């Protein structure tokens, strides 16, 4: 009897699979999530390859694709230690400069005492770890000595050697002359700044003053009749490279008119030109002509000359055209798209610098209309997902100008698109140096604080600060405003600790805003406690820092916060501070203080309070006095005092 | 004049019965052998002090602070301590152990002098391929920009000296970490 049951059970178990499937088919008209997919898979035919070959690095590539750049990590050049990590932008710069100066100090020792560093352990030989020759070896008057001076970049010594060679009558080869001219024009006839030279000090002064105008202002000026021109005119025959060196040197160091005169000289001698010459001249065109149409005429004339001499323009040519167009006013809007089309027709891919110039042309002033974000939108659609390398020094300015446009148009989505372009591949390298970086992230953070929900803002804040972006006072103010708008004032104590870490506590206006936000409304008791702790902290900061001045509002805010957290004694000390700093407390403050005194039953203090307000000659004195008389139980002496004050102050003005 | 015992003397000595006398006579014979010519030198041996003194700080009155590194003696290496210098030249078939040791000694003295007064503990030197990594524990005596100056300087100088990339990894402490007082 058991056997047939066993058979049945076995049969069911064997065929249970098909039974279950059948049941599911019947019930399967009710939609389960995954049954349609199962049906779909059965319909497609899957072709399995016989063998798949993987490259040797396939595993490594797959692992690498799972990683993104960790934006919360500190920059790798710093040591991984909290004491040694920079917390503000100034510290960032200070530490990286300190490290670099240590390196150059070591290189100075290595190069000046090479006999200790010549033993070569390395197999194969590593040339960059050997000492470099810094001092001159050859002293006699010869072309080799001249070449040596050129490679060691000693400009004045090279010029002297050249003159000596001419005096002795030895012919100098054309190659060496070219290199000499290049050297002189690059360094504008001055020696390049070496470590620890006195000339470096004045250089830095000049640089600091002109740095605000950017790299367009030449730092060194081309003097009259300097060695470059002299040698140039002494040459028996001048060819393209000589002209190129002189013209480019003149443009680089600010002698624009002279550059054009040398150029016309070159045209008269029918010497063929060079693409670099034309690049330099095009970028110098706005300086020698006033008036937009004249500038454009000059540029088009130069381009025509290029076409006549059959010189192919390169990327830098078009970038300098666009850069000069920026200074051509309204003409730019018509001609810059044409320039881009020319570039595409010639097959030259525009770089980020070209796009930067386009943005500057189309978004010239802040007051341009809101519909103008079309240009940037189209641009972002085109650039989506591309990786860039730096091909032009102005590439680094693109991202900050793009973010500026987004900020001015208050376009959050566009801002996110720009940020996602930055996160593609290696594009973060194109954000520029620390100044550009802080500008870009400052603008991005500003946009977020204005337009976004506070949770998203805080998420970005945790990600970006302080590894990528060191907020300055302005950024902090935006953050505080965002917190205020969304009512997340419970985060204020944490923000205060962040502000201390970032070194932002010496701005009185920032502290005032913080205190104002904290003292604005009543909150829950724990929050009031936390606020009171913060307020005491701020008070100690005001006391320690020499340059900070208490203002009436910050004093009253601190007092209010202390009162709300029932720290009566400290609030009383605050009132004494009012007197010390010549600030007047407000009536509301005194009234709330009186209420707190009543709650605590401190009648002595109430009397002192009224006396204090009398000392300040406040109009509310009599009101306070009457309140005190009514609400407190006082002894005879105190009543007399209060009555006297009430009478003396007179009726309160309505 | 050398006194050499003749065979007859020895036989005479051997014929005596008491063992003590034999020992006495044989020791006399040996000492005459050893003494050599008159006025010569002999081997003087003092009592041996069977004590190990390597890398040990002797017990004091209880006021001497010791770090973990100093508290454990060399025989505790691989039991309670790790190695301060890590390289592969002590494996079978590898050479260059002596050169690595000399380099390590130089690097330790260099770091001690460059970061004078700032070192909290011994320096750990690790070699990975061509790379030389110097791990140091420092006290927070200098402001961070001075630390970075010295770090950049040491890295470049040591790289040029040893013709291999040298990296410094620094961690800072407030004070030396005391393990026990001896």
The string of pLDDT tens digits covering residues A450-496 is 888 888 888 888 888 877 788 888 888 888 888 888 887 888 888 88
Alpha helices in chain B (DSSP H): 7-15, 19-35, 68-71, 97-114, 144-162
> Tens digit of pLDDT for each residue in B32-69?
555 556 778 888 888 887 888 899 999 989 999 999 99
SS3 B77: strand
Decide if B102 touches A, using CB distance below 8 A: no
End-to-end, the C-alpha distance of chain A in Å comes to 109
Task: Report the alpha-carbon distance of residue A63 to residue A198 in Å, rounded.
Answer: 52
Q: Where are the domains of chain B?
A: 65-181
User: Hey, of A79, A91, A94, A119, which one would you mutate to test binding to chain B, going by the most B CBs within 10 A of its CB?
Assistant: A79
Task: Report the alpha-carbon distance of residue A364 to residue A401 in Å, rounded.
Answer: 11
A80, A84, A130: residue with CB nearest B144: A84
Q: Are B157 and A131 a contacting pair at CB < 8 A?
A: no
Q: Are B153 and A129 a contacting pair at CB < 8 A?
A: no
Tell me what percent of the residues of chain A surpass a pLDDT of 70: 86
Find the range with the poorest average confidence among A187-191, A216-220, A265-269, A315-319.
Answer: A216-220
Find the range with the poorest average confidence among A159-168, A169-178, A267-276, A546-555.
Answer: A546-555
Question: A161-168 — which CB contacts under 8 Å span 24+ positions?
Answer: A162/A231, A165/A141, A166/A234, A168/A141
Decide if B146 touches A, using CB distance below 8 A: yes
Please determine, for residue A6, whether its predicted confidence score (pLDDT) is greater than 60: no
Q: A519 to each of A274, A486, A506, A527, A558, how far by Cα in Å? A: 69, 16, 20, 11, 8
Q: Are A105 and B140 a contacting pair at CB < 8 A?
A: no
Q: B110 to each of A70, A108, A248, B11, B100, how far by Cα in Å? A: 35, 18, 48, 71, 15
Q: Are A121 and B162 a contacting pair at CB < 8 A?
A: yes
Q: Are A106 and B172 a contacting pair at CB < 8 A?
A: no
Q: How confident is the model at residue A227 (pLDDT cuts 50, 70, 90)?
A: confident
Beta partners for residue B169, in sequence order? B135
A95, A107, A116: residue with CB nearest B144: A95
User: Hey, of A103, A108, A109, A125, which one would you mutate to test binding to chain B, going by the most B CBs within 10 A of its CB?
Assistant: A103
Within 13 Å and on the Cβ side, how many CA atoms surround A567?
Answer: 20
For residue A425, give the H/E element and its range: none
Decide if B114 touches A, using CB distance below 8 A: no
Find the range with the poorest average confidence among A80-89, A375-384, A450-459, A565-574.
Answer: A565-574
Q: Are B156 and A110 a contacting pair at CB < 8 A?
A: yes
Within 8 A of A131 by CB-CB distance, chain B residues are: 160
Decide if B9 touches A, using CB distance below 8 A: no
Please determine, for residue A94, whether its predicted confidence score (pLDDT) is greater than 60: yes
Mean pLDDT, rounded, for A312-322: 87
Please determine, for residue A648, whether its predicted confidence score (pLDDT) is greater than 60: yes
Decide if B147 touches A, using CB distance below 8 A: yes
Within 8 A of B149 by CB-CB distance, chain A residues are: 98-99, 101-102, 105
> Tens digit of pLDDT for each residue in A333-380?
888 888 888 888 888 888 888 888 888 888 876 555 545 678 888 888
User: What pLDDT does A225 receive?
Assistant: 64
Residues of chain A with a CB closer than 8 angstroms to some CB in chain B? 78-81, 83-84, 86, 91, 94-96, 98-103, 105-107, 109-110, 116-117, 120-122, 126, 129-131
Within 8 A of A95 by CB-CB distance, chain B residues are: 144-145, 148
For B164, name the nearest residue in chain A, comparing CA atoms only.
Answer: A122
Give the CATH superfamily of B65-181. Answer: K homology (KH) domain (3.30.300.20)
Within 8 A of A86 by CB-CB distance, chain B residues are: 144
Q: Are B171 and A81 a contacting pair at CB < 8 A?
A: yes
For A105, name the nearest residue in chain B, comparing CA atoms only.
Answer: B153
Q: Are A84 and B156 a contacting pair at CB < 8 A?
A: no
SS3 A467: coil
Please determine, for residue A21, whether its predicted confidence score (pLDDT) is greater than 50: no
**Cβ(B133)–Cβ(B167) below 8 Å:** yes
Mean pLDDT, rounded, for A608-612: 75
Mean of all residue pLDDT scores within chain A: 78
Mean pLDDT, rounded, for A265-292: 85
Size of interface A-B (CB pairs under 8 A): 85
Within 8 A of B164 by CB-CB distance, chain A residues are: 121-122, 126, 129
Within 13 Å and on the Cβ side, how many CA atoms surround A69?
Answer: 16
Beta partners for residue B180, in sequence order? B66
CA B110 to chain A, closest CA, distance in angstroms equals 13
Buried b (16+ CB within 10 A) or exposed e, A22-52: eeeeeeeeeeeeeeeeeeeeeeeeeeeeeee
Q: How confident is the model at residue A200 (pLDDT cuts 50, 70, 90)?
A: very low
Within 8 A of B136 by CB-CB distance, chain A residues are: none
Buried b (16+ CB within 10 A) or exposed e, A464-474: bbbebbbbbee
Task: Report the alpha-carbon distance of residue A344 to residue A515 in Å, rounded.
Answer: 57
SS3 A375: helix
Task: Name the nearest CA neighbour of B138 among B148, B128, B130.
Answer: B148
Please determine, for residue B5, whether its predicted confidence score (pLDDT) is greater than 70: no
Q: Are A81 and B154 a contacting pair at CB < 8 A?
A: no
Burial classification of residue B37, based on how many CB atoms lie within 10 Å of its CB (0-12 exposed, 13-18 middle, 19 or more buried): exposed
User: Hey, of A82, A99, A119, which one would you mutate to test binding to chain B, going by the most B CBs within 10 A of its CB?
Assistant: A99
């Amino acid at each position: 009897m058991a056997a047939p049951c066993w058979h049945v059970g076995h049969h069911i178990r064997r065929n249970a699979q098909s039974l279950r499937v059948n049941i599911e088919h019947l019930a399967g008209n009710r939609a389960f999530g995954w049954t349609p997919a199962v049906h779909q898979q059965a319909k497609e035919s899957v072709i399995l390859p016989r063998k798949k070959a993987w490259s040797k690095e396939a595993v490594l590539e797959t692992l690498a694709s799972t990683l993104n750049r960790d934006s919360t990590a500190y920059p790798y050049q710093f040591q991984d230690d909290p004491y040694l990590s920079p917390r503000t932008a100034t510290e960032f710069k200070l530490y990286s400069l300190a490290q670099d100066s240590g390196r150059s100090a070591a290189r100075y020792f290595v190069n000046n005492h090479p006999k200790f560093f010549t033993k070569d352990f390395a197999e194969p030989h590593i040339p960059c770890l050997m000492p470099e020759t810094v001092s001159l070896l050859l002293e006699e008057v010869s072309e080799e000595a001249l070449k040596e001076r050129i490679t060691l970049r000693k400009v004045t010594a090279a010029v002297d050697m050249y003159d000596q060679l001419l005096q002795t009558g030895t012919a100098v080869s054309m190659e060496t002359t070219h290199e000499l001219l290049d050297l002189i024009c690059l360094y504008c006839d001055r020696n390049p700044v070496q470590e620890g030279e006195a000339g470096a000090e004045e250089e830095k002064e000049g640089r600091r003053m002109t740095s605000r105008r950017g790299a367009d202002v030449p730092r060194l000026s081309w003097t009259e009749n300097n060695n470059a021109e002299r040698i140039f005119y002494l040459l028996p025959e001048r060819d393209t490279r000589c002209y190129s060196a002189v013209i480019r040197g003149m443009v680089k160091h600010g002698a624009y008119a002279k550059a054009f005169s040398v150029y016309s000289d070159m045209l008269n001698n029918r010497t063929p030109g060079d693409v670099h010459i034309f690049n330099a001249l095009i970028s110098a065109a706005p300086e020698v002509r006033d008036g937009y149409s004249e500038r454009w005429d000059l540029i088009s004339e130069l381009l025509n000359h290029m076409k006549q001499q059959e010189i192919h323009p390169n990327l830098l040519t078009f970038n300098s055209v666009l850069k000069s167009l920026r200074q051509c006013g309204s003409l730019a809007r018509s001609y810059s798209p044409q320039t881009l089309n020319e570039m595409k027709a010639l097959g030259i891919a525009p770089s980020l610098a070209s796009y930067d110039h386009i943005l500057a042309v189309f978004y010239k002033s802040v007051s341009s209309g809101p519909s103008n974000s079309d240009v940037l939108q189209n641009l972002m659609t085109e650039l989506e997902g591309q990786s860039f390398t730096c091909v032009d020094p102005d590439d680094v300015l693109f991202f900050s100008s793009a973010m500026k446009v987004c900020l001015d148009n208050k376009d959050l989505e566009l801002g996110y698109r720009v940020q996602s372009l930055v996160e593609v591949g290696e594009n973060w390298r194109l954000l520029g140096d620390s100044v550009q970086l802080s500008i870009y992230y400052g603008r991005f953070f500003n946009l977020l604080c204005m337009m976004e929900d506070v949770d998203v803002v805080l998420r970005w804040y945790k990600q970006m600060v302080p590894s990528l972006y060191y907020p300055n006072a302005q950024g902090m103010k935006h953050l505080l405003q965002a917190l205020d708008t969304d009512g997340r004032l419970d985060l204020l104590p944490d923000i205060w600790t962040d502000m201390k870490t970032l070194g932002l506590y010496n701005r009185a206006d920032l502290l005032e805003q913080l205190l104002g936000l904290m003292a604005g409304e009543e909150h829950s008791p724990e929050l009031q406690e936390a606020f009171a702790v913060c307020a005491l902290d701020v008070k100690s900061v005001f006391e320690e820092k020499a340059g900070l001045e208490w203002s009436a509002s910050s004093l009253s805010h601190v007092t209010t916060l202390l009162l709300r957290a029932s720290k009566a004694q400290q609030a009383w000390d605050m009132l004494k501070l009012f007197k010390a700093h010549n600030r007047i407390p407000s009536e509301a403050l005194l009234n709330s203080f009186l209420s707190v005194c009543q709650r605590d039953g401190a009648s002595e203090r109430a009397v002192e309070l009224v006396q204090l307000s009398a000392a300040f000659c406040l109009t509310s004195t009599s009101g306070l006095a009457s309140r005190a008389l009514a609400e407190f139980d006082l002894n005879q002496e105190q009543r007399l005092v209060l009555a006297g004050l009430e009478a003396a102050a007179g009726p309160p003005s309505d | 004049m050398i006194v050499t015992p003749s065979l007859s003397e020895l036989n005479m000595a051997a014929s005596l019965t008491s063992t003590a006398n034999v020992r006495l006579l044989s020791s006399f014979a040996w000492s005459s052998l050893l003494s050599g010519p008159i006025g010569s030198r002999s081997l003087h041996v003092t009592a041996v002090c069977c004590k190990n003194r390597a890398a040990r700080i002797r017990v004091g009155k209880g006021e001497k602070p010791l770090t973990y590194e100093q508290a454990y003696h060399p025989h505790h290496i691989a039991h309670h301590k790790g190695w301060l210098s890590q390289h592969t030249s002590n494996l079978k078939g590898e050479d260059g152990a002596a050169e690595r040791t000399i380099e390590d000694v130089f690097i330790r003295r260099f770091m001690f002098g460059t970061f004078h007064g700032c070192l909290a503990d011994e320096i750990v030197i690790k070699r990975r391929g061509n790379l030389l990594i110097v791990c140091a524990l420092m006290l927070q005596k200098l402001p961070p920009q001075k630390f970075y100056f010295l770090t950049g300087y040491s890295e470049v100088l040591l790289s040029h000296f040893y013709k291999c990339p040298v990296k410094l990894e620094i961690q800072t402490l407030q004070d030396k970490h005391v393990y026990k007082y001896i």
